[in-house]
Structure 1
Amino acid sequence: MKHLLHHMAKYLLAAGMLLVTLSLRAQQSTRLTGGWEFLKGDLGGVWEAVRPVTAGSPESVPLWDSVALPHCFNARDAVDPDQNYYEGPGWYRTQLQLKNPYKNGRILLHFEGAGQKTNVYVYTQEVATHTGGYDEWTVDITDAVKAFTKSPDSKRFKGRVPLEIRCDNSRDLQMIPSDMSDFTVHGGLYRYLNLVYVPALSLDEVHILPRVDAGGSTGTVQISTAFRNPDHLGEAVLRLKIKDPQGKMVREEERRVQPQGEMQKLLSFTVNKPQLWSPSDPALYTVEAVLLSPDGTQQTRQETFGFRQFTFMEHGPFMLNGKRLLLRGTHRHQDGAGVGAAETEAMIRREMLLIKAMGVNFIRLAHYQQSPLVLHLCDSLGILVWEELAWCRGGLGGETYKTQARRMLTNMINQHYNHPAVIIWSLGNENDWPGDFAEFDRQKIRAFMKELNDLAHRLDSSRLTAIRRCDFCKDIVDVYSPSIWAGWYSGRYTEYRDATEKWIRQVPRFLHAEWGADSHARRHAEDPYARLGGIPTGQGVAEKAGDAALSGGKARASRDGDWSETYQCDLIDWYLQEQERMPDLTGSAYWIFKDFATPLRPDNPLPYVNQKGVVERDLRPKEAYYVFQSYWSDQPMVHIYGHTWPTRWGAAGKKETVKVYSNCAEAELFVNGRSYGRKKRDSHDFPAAGLRWELPMQEGDYTLRVVARKGRVTVTDSIAFHYQTAQWGSPARLSLRQVNSSGDTATVEATLTDSHGIPCLDARNVVRFGLTGDGVLLDDLGTSDGSRKLELYNGRALIRMKKQGGRSVISISSRGIPSAFLDLSSGSR
C-alpha cells in the first residue's frame, strides 16, 4: 500500500482545489449532517413525528434513533446473509435554526439524492414529493416556514422549525430502476442534504457550452442562464468573470437581464488557443457569476468548464483532441461497507483517487446519476464519464414509469451539463431483460428508447448517447456496448479479441462496457483451470439468461471455476494485453471497481455481494488492482502476486510460478536473499508480461523480494509465505485463534484441517461465525473479514470483533463438522 499511496499523492492537490471551488459555488449553503433522528418503518401520519409527548410515556413510542447524514437504512442489511434487505418507509426528523442573510430571501432544501420516494414536511405541512433515488432536486420551504412561525404551535419549538422527511424504497413496478436489477435499491437520505439561502431573485442554472475547432486553435463559449424569481422582480445585472486554469482573466462582462425561469442564452465569445482538457492535463476554466438584484442584494456563483473535442470514429478508435486515446475504464456503484449508499465525501474522494491511481481515464457511473462530488472529481482528476439513466431491466412500465424516466434523464443532463468529463449520456442498461410485466413488447421499448434518445440530443447536442446490452435497440443510440463476457459467463477468455473485433465491424460506434470475473478475496489457486476443461468454445461469449446462476446451464467459469483471485488476474491480464493489439478499439470498462451489494446473489461466497471488484467493498485492493496498474499507470510500480496467500502448497521439488506485475522495463527477483535473475517486461508474453519465475519449492518458509526499475526510479515489493508439501485428507476439524489485536478490536482466524491437523488448503466450505458475551462481531460488511457467513478461502476465514471491555466466546460452525469455540476477554491477545 505504501507505493500505492505515493501514486495517489499527485492527485491530492487537485482534489483540495475542488473543495475551494465547491465552497465558492454554494457560499450560502450548509450541509445538514447532524441533529437528526430516524425511525425505521412507517408512522400513522406526520403528526406522530411532531406531537408533544413526555419522554418515557407510552405515547413516546415508537422510539427514534439519533443518526447523522448521509444515512442509509440498508447500511447493514443489504448484505445480511440471513434475510432480505428492508424495502419500505423510513422517517427522518430534525429542527432547523434558520437565519437567512438575504432580506426577502428564499430558504431552499437541496437534495443531492434520496431513495427512492420522498415526502418533505415543514411541521405538518407537506411541501414536496419526489420519485427517483438518484437525481438532485430542490424544495423551496420559505412560505411553509412563514406559515409555521405564525402558528400558535411554533412557540413550543423555541424559534426552531421542525422538518420531517419520509423516504420509501418499497418495491414498485412503476418506478425505475427495477428491483430485478443486480444491485441494491437503497433507501434513505443517503446523499447530502443542503440548507441553501438565496436572494429573492437568484441564479437557478448556469449552462456553459464550450467548443473548440479541429486544430485546437480557437474555442467558443456559450453561456445560458435560468433564474429563480417567485416574486417576479424586474431587470437585474449579471457580472461575469471568466478565468483560465491558472486564474488569469480571460474575459469580463456585465449584462442586464430579464429574469426568466426557462434557460436563456446570455453570452457567446471566443478564446484564442484555449488550454485543452484531457485525462493527463485536466485544465479547468472558471466562470464567476455575480447577480445584482433590483433591491440591491447580490449572489455569487462559480462554475467550471473545459475545452475538449472528442470523436468515436466509425468502426474505429476514440479520438480526444485530435489524438487516439484508448479508453481505460471501470465502473462505480454508490455502495460501501457499513454505510450502504450513504458514502461520505471523504469515502468518495478516497475511492476516486484509488481509481485514478489505477491508471483509469474513463468511468461508467452505473447504473444511475451519481453524486455531484463524483462528477467534480472526474473533472479535476481527468476521468472521462459515461453517466446513466436508471432505466435498468424489467421491461417498460406505464405513463408514471415513463414520466419518471423522462424527468430523471432531463435532470441528469441539466445538472451535470457543465462537466467536461462527461462524454456520454446513457439511456439505460440491459433493457432486453424482461420480468416486471406480463407484456414485453420490443417495439414499445424501441419507441420509448427513441423518445429518450431524441430528448437527450435536444437537451445536449454536444454529447453522445449510449446503451448497454439491448441488441434490438442498438441502431437507435450513438454508441453501443454489447454483452461480451468471454471467460466468465460463457466461453474462454482467449475468445475475447475475436468477439470484440466482430462487434467493432457490426456497429458504427462500439465501446465495451462490462467484462471481468468474480473473485473471493484472499482465495488463491495453484491451478485455477483444474475444473474448466469442459467449457465449450465457438458458441458465443455473451451473457445469457441463467449464466449468473451457480448451477444449471452449460459449463462456464462463473459456475465451475474456483472464484480465485488467481483466475481473475489471469483473465484481466489476457484482456489488457489483447486490448493493446486492437488499433480500432475505442476502449473498455472493467466491471466493476469495487465489490457491491446485490439482492440477486444470495449464494455467492460472500452472500449478497457481487464480487467482481478489483478492490473489496471497503476499498482494500485485491491482487487484480495491480494487474491494471501494470498496464495503465504511468507511475513506476511493482507487485508480487500473493500478498494475502500465506500458505502455498504442492509436492516437494515442484516448480511453482511466481508472478510479478510491473510497468517497469525489467525486474529482478530475490528468494530468501538469493537473486533468481532479471526479466524484461513484454506485454505480449502472457502471463504477467513475462515477469514470472519458476521456482523449485520445498517445505518451509520463503521471503520474496523484487526490485524493478523505470528510468531512474527504483521500486520494490516483498512477500513472505510458507510452502506446505503435506497432503491433506477430508476436512474434519475447525479451530479458532486470535491473530491480531488493535485497541479494543480483535481479529480471529478460523482454520479447517483434516483429522491429522493438516490444513485443507483448497477447502471452500461455508462457515458461520457466532458470538456470545459482551463483544460484537464486525459483520454485515460484505468483505472477506466482515461477514459472519462465507465460504472459506484456502481453508481459512477471518472475522473482526469489538471486545467492548468484556468477555466473549466466538464460535465457528460448518455443516457436517464439529463446531469450535474461542474464549476472549478484553485483556487477551
Structure 2
Amino acid sequence: MKFRLGIIVCFLCAQVFGQQSVRLNSGWLFLKEDLGGIWEAVRPVKEGNPEALPLWTKVSLPHCANERDAVDPDVNYYQGPMWYKTELRVQNPYAKGRTLLHFEGAGQKTEVYVYTTKVGAHVGGYDEWTVDITDAVNAFKKQDSLVKQFKGKVPISIRCDNSRDLEMMPSDLSDFNVYGGLYRYVNLVYEPAAYVDKVFALPTVTGIKNGNLNVKLNIANPGQLKKGTIQLRLFDPQGKALQKTEKELGAFDGTLTIGDLPVKNPQLWGPETPSLYKLEVTLTTSAGTHTTLTPVGFRSFEFQKHGPFLLNGKRLLLRGTHRHEDHAGVAAAMTEDLMRQEMIEMKEMGVNFIRLGHYQQSRIILNLCDSLGILVWEEIPWCRGGLGGAVYQAQGKRMLMNMIQQHYNHPAVIIWGLGNENDWPGDFPEFDKEKIRTYMKELNALAHSLDASRKTAIRRCDFCKDIVDVYSPSIWAGWYRGIYTEYKEVTKKEFDAVDHFLHVEWGGDSHAGRHSENPDKALQNIKATGAADERSGDASLYGGAARASKDGDWSETYICNLMDWHLKEQETMPWLTGTAQWVFKDFSTPIRPDNPVPYMNQKGVVERDLTKKEAYYVFQSYWAQKPMAHIYGHSWPVRWGKEGEEKMIKVYSNCDEAELFINGKSAGAKKRNSQDFPAAGLRWNVVLQKGANTAYVIARKGRLVVKDTISFAYQTQQWGRPAKVKLEKVKEESGIITLEAKLYDAQDIQCLDAANWIRFGLTGEGTLLDDLGTSSGSRLVQLYNGRAIIRIKANGGRSVASAKVEELPVVFLNL
C-alpha cells in the first residue's frame, strides 16, 4: 500500500470504542466559574427570569475554556472550576447493557453527574477514561416527575477544573498552558452485558519473511455471563482475509490470552509504505455480538549502540518535529479535521518522526501517524517542577499505564517518554536528585513491564540518562547558547556519552513576517563555547550572556539560516539516529508574556493557525520527495539597501538545478549541493531595481519542472526615527476587513527595521479578530519590518479602528 497524501487509511478510528458510540458535540451549555453545588446545574428555572443565574453560554464540543484568554495580552489565563451541562436521550438497545460516557481527554480534574448523583471522577487532562452511568440513568428514569420535567431526557453535568495544584502533573512551570475544559471528544457509548474492553495486538517480525501476531484481550463482563465465543479474523492491507480462529469461553472477565497468529511474508509498515493490517475481534454471548477493529502494523526497529536507527533492518534517519495540542481560536479543542490538516502538512514537509509533547495526545493523532507513516515518541506530562508526593507520583504511574494500554496497538509508537526537563526545580522546597532517580527507575520498570517491545526515553535530565533506553540532552546551538556552526561538534560529544542517543528539541523563535538584510549580525557578540545546552534563565529576554534568543532579531531570515545549517550537517552524520525540531506549530505558553506575540512560543515552522513560515520550505528542500521550489521572502513586501548594491535571493528546493529570473532576465542556472550553505547553493547575488521587482524560479528534478514567483519592492531611501503611524484598509472579503499599520519617519519614509510594539483597538459594531496568537491576530504585537496586520469582522455595521505605537500619537480609521 504505497502512501499517497490525501488518501489516509484509518480503520474506524483505529479501535472502535463501543458497539454503538455517538459523539456528543452539540447541545451543551458552559459556565466559566464554579457553582454552589450540583443542584444549581439542574434546578428548574424559566429563561428570562432574573433568578435564572448564573448565565450559561451555548457551546459545542470539543471546547476549551481558554480558547481566547490563553493569549490575551492583558490578563492571566483562567485557571479554576468550570461546568458543562446537557440533556441526553438515553436508549440503550441491549438488554441489561451498559451505558457509558467515554472521555477522550478533559482538563484537568473532572467530575460527572447524572442529575444530582455523582457517577465518576478523573484526575489528569490527557488520558482517556470512561464513566458507567447505567445505574444512575435507570434510577433517574424511575422518577416520573423528573422524567416529565426533562421531557424524557437525562441531565448530565460535568465539572472540570484546571486550578493550579502542586500535587498534579503537569507543573504550572511548564512552557505550555495547562488547559481546562472538555477539549477532546465526549462519546455516549452503549455496550452489551459483555464486551471486549481492550485489545492488545503485538506484531513481531523475524527477518522479513516471518511475522507473528500475539493477541490478548481484556473482557468486561458486568452481566456476569457464563459462556461465550471469541472469533478473530485478520485482514491484510488490501482487505483480504488471511486467518480466522475461534475460542470458546467459560466464565470470563479480565485479561484473556488468545495466542499467536503466524503471518507469512508480512507487508512491512514504514514511512514510505504504512501498511496496516486489520484485526477483527468478535465476542458473541447471549447478550449479543460485540465487534472491535484494531489496526496492526508489522515492523521492527533498533537503536544501535553508539550507532544509527534501523527500521525493518535498514538505516532510517529520523526526520522529526514536535506537536502541542493547540490552535488559534480554539486552544486545545482541535477538531478531527484540524488535526488531519496539521498532520498532512507535517507529512508534506517530509516528517517521518514526531515527539508528542508533553503529554498523551488524542487517539486521532495516533491514528493519523499510523496511516501517514510517522514514527512516534509519546510521553507523560511529568514536566519540570521537581517531584511531588504520593498523590503526584501515583498520578504519573497511572497516566503512564493508561497511555501505554490505550495506545499499545499503534505501530507508529516506538518510544514511551517518561519525562521532560526533570532537572528543573521550583514546585517544591525539596529538590532531591536521588528521589527523582528512584521514581524514574520505577516508571522505567513499569513501562517495560507493560510493553517490552518499545523503548523508554527522557529529555534533558542528565542525572537520569543512564536509567532509560534512549536519552536526549539539551542542544540548542545558535539559539539559547553558542552559534549554530557548533551543532555537529556538540552533538557528537553528547552522542558518545550515552549508548542510545536521539536529539529532540532544536531550532529557535521567529516572528512571522519579520525579515532581515543582515540576520547574523547578532552572532558577532556571541562566543563559541563548545556547549549548546539551555540553562536556567536562557529563555528569558533579559540578562545573562549574549545569545541569539535574547540579542538576535527573531527574524525568519535568521531561523532559516540556523535550520538550513542543521539540516545540511545532519546529512553528513552517518552515526546519527535522528532529530526532532521544536516545534511544528507556534503554541501558547503562560511564561513568555514578552515575546513579540505575547504568551506565544514562536518556534514553529508554521503559525498557530497553520500559516506556513519560510522555515517550512527549508525543511521541505531537504526532506520532501515531491519536487518543490520556494523563493525566500513571500511575506517580505519591501526589501532595502543602497542603489546598485547586490542582494542575495535564496531558493529552497529539492530539485537538481534551478534557474532564477529577475525582472524578466535570467540570473543563471545553478546545481543543488546540500553542503553549499546557504540554500544548498541555490542563491544568487543580484542588483535589484528601485521600486517594484519580480523574481521567479524554474527548477527541474529529472523531467519534472516546478516554478515559484514573488513580487516585492526595493527601498533605497534611508529612514530616521519613527515619527508617525499610518493605518489603512488593504482588503475586504466576505465581511472581513484587513487593516495594515505602518511606521514612518518625519520625512514619510517607511521604517523597515522597526520592531516597536503596536496596540490595535476597535469601537463600534465590528469585532476585532484578536487573541489568536498569530502575528496578524493579536491586538498587541511587535511590528515586523515596520508593519503589522489585524483583521476585523465588520458585522455589517460601522466601526472606528485605532493603532497606537508606544510614544507616538494614536491614529484612527473610520470603517
Alignment TM-score, normalising by the size of structure 1: 0.97
Q: How does 1:198-277 map to 2 (within 5 A)?
A: 198-213=191-206, 215-258=207-250, 260-277=252-269
Query: What is the match of residue 466 of structure 2?
Result: 475
- 5 Å matches for 1:13-92? 13-14=7-8, 17-18=9-10, 20=12, 26=18, 28-92=20-84
1: CA distance between counterparts of 2:124 and 2:275?
33
* 2:424 match: secondary structure: strand
Q: Does the CA-based 8 Å contact 1:698-1:725 persist in structure 2?
A: no
Q: Percent identity?
A: 61
For the structure 1 residues 349 and 122, does the alpha-carbon distance in structure 2 shift closer, same or farther, using more than 3 Å as the test?
same
Cα separation, partners in 2 of 1:105 and 1:493, compared to 1, 3 Å: same
- Kept after mapping to 2: 8 A contact 1:519/1:611: yes
Q: Which one is further off, 552-561 or 17-26?
A: 17-26
Structure 2: distance between partners of 1:119 and 1:768: 40
Aligned-partner Cα distance in 2 for 1:322–1:466: 21
Can you list the C-alpha shifts for 1:299-357, whole angstroms capped at 9, x where unaligned?
11100111100000011100000000000000000000000000000000000000000
Amino acid at match of 2:392: Y
Which residue does the alignment assign to 1:456?
447
Instruction: Answer yes or no: is 1:535 the counterpart of 2:526.
Output: yes
CA contact (8 A) 1:641 1:659 kept: yes
Structure 2 equivalent of residue 685 of structure 1: 676
1:729 to 711, 720, 724: 720
Quick one: distance in 1 between partners of 2:179 and 2:24? 20
1:820 maps to 811
**TM-superposed deviation, 1:47:** 0.5
1:661 is matched with which residue?
Answer: 652
What letter matches 2:727 in structure 1?
A: L
- Would you say 1:322 and 2:316 are equivalent positions? no
Match of 2:137 in 1: 145
Residues 466 and 479 in structure 1, CA contact (< 8 A), matched pair in contact too: yes
Residues 605-637 of structure 1 deviation map (CA, whole Å, 9 limit, x = unaligned): 000000000000000100000000000000000
| 1:253-292 CA-partner distances (Å, limit 9, x unpaired) | 1111246443221121211111110010000010111110
**Among residues 728, 734, 742, which one is paired with 1:743 in the alignment?**
734
Q: Which runs of 4+ in 1 moved over 6 A?
A: none
| Inter-partner Cα distance in structure 2 for 1:258 and 1:318 | 45
Native 8 Å contact 2:197 2:219 kept in 1: yes
The yes-or-no answer on 1:125 pairing with 2:117 is yes
Alignment check: 8 A CA contact 1:239 1:290 kept:
yes
SS in structure 2 opposite 1:402? helix
Q: Which residue of 2 is the match for residue 466 of structure 1? A: 457
Cα distance in structure 1, aligned partners of 2:530 and 2:270: 40
CA deviations on 1:632-655 (whole Å, 9 max, x unpaired) are 000000000000000000001111
CA contact (8 A) 1:281 1:382 kept: yes
The letter of the residue matching 1:78 is A
* Correspondence list, 1:469-618, <5 A: 469-618=460-609
Amino acid in the other structure paired with 1:174: E
For residues 48 and 68 of structure 2, the distance between their equivalents in structure 1, rounded to whole angstroms, comes to 28
Partner Cα separation in structure 2 for residue 261 and residue 675 of structure 1: 75
Q: 1:697-716 counterparts in 2 under 5 A?
A: 697-716=688-707
Query: Which residue in 2 is equivalent to 1:101?
Result: 93
Q: Could you tell me which amino acid in structure 2 is paired with residue 186 of structure 1?
A: Y
CA distance in 2, matches of 1:142, 1:531: 64
User: 2:748 maps to what in 1?
Assistant: 757
Match of 1:10 in 2: 4
By how many angstroms is 1:102 displaced? Answer: 1.3
Q: Indicate which of 190, 195, 199 corresponds to 1:197.
A: 190
Distance 2:11 2:81 in 1: 34
Alignment of 1:357-368 (within 5 A): 357-368=348-359
SS of corresponding position for 1:496: helix
CA contact (8 A) 1:234 1:294 kept: no
Would you say 1:344 and 2:335 are equivalent positions? yes
CA–CA distance in structure 1, aligned partners of residues 522 and 134 of structure 2: 66
Partner of 1:380: 371
Secondary structure at the aligned position of 2:6 is classed as helix
Match of 2:776 in 1: 785
Q: After superposition, where does 1:168-187 map in structure 2 within 5 Å?
A: 168-187=161-180
The equivalent residue for 1:427 is 418
Shift of 1:26: 4.8
Deviation at 1:532, TM superposition (A): 2.6
Give ranges in structure 2 of 5+ residues lacking alignment.
Answer: none
1:384-423 correspondence to structure 2 within 5 Å: 384-423=375-414
User: Secondary structure of 1:393's partner?
Assistant: coil
Q: What is the CA deviation profile of residues 677-696 of structure 1, one whole-angstrom value per residue up to 9, with x for unaligned ones?
A: 10100000000000000001
1:539 Cα deviation after fit: 4.8
Name the CA distance, whole Å, in 1 between partners of 2:615 and 2:67: 26
Q: Distance in 1 between matches of 2:421 and 2:625?
A: 34
Counterpart residue number, 1:827: none
Deviation at 1:551, TM superposition (A): 0.8
Deviation at 1:25, TM superposition (A): 5.9
**Residues 377-434 of structure 1, C-alpha deviation per residue, up to 9 Å, x if partnerless?**
0000000000011100000001110111111000000000000000000001000000
> Is this contact kept in 2: 1:670–1:705, CA < 8 A?
yes
1:543 counterpart SS class: coil
Select the residue among 622, 625, 628 that pairs with 2:613: 622
Contact 2:740 2:788 in 1 (8 A): yes
Distance 1:247 1:577 in 2: 41
Q: Residue by residue, what CA displacement relative to the aligned partner does 1:702-735 show, whole Å, maximum 9, x if unpaired?
A: 1101000111111000000000000000000001
Show the counterpart of 1:769.
760
Aligned length: 813
- Asked if residue 160 in structure 1 is aligned to residue 162 in structure 2, the reply is no
SS of equivalent residue, structure 1 residue 822 = strand
Cα offsets for 1:521-556 (capped at 9, x unmatched):
000000012233111112511000000000100000
Deviation digits for residues 659-690 of structure 1 (CA, Å, limit 9, x no counterpart)? 00000000011111111110100000000000
Letter in 1 for 2:6: L
Residue 56 of structure 1: how far off its partner (Å): 2.1
| In structure 1, C-alpha distance between the alignment counterparts of 2:251 and 2:612, rounded to whole Å | 51
**Structure 1: distance between partners of 2:602 and 2:251:** 51
The residue type paired with residue 490 of structure 2 is A
State the secondary structure of the residue aligned to 1:604: coil
Contact residue 311 and residue 318 of structure 1 kept, 8 A:
yes
Q: 1:598 to 1:511 in 2, by over 3 A?
A: same
Shift of 1:177: 0.3
Q: Distance in 2 between matches of 1:175 and 1:260?
A: 36
TM-score by length of 2: 0.99
Give me the whole-angstrom Cα distance separating, in 2, the residues matched to 1:20 and 1:466. 30
How far apart, CA to CA, are the structure 2 residues paired with 1:514 and 1:740?
Answer: 38
The CA deviation at 1:502 is: 0.7
- Range moving further from structure 2, 348-357 or 25-34: 25-34
Equivalents in 2 of 1:84, 1:682: separation in Å? 48
Say if 1:449 and 1:476, in contact at 8 Å, map to a contact too: yes
**2:211 and 2:263 in contact (8 A); partners too:** yes
Superimposed CA distance per residue, residues 187-236 of structure 1 (whole angstroms, 9 cap, x where no aligned partner): 000000011111000110010011101x2111111000011111211121
SS of residue in 2 equivalent to 1:70: coil
CA distance in 1 between partners of 2:3 and 2:658 (Å): 24
Partner of 2:292: 301
SS of the residue 1:443 aligns to: helix
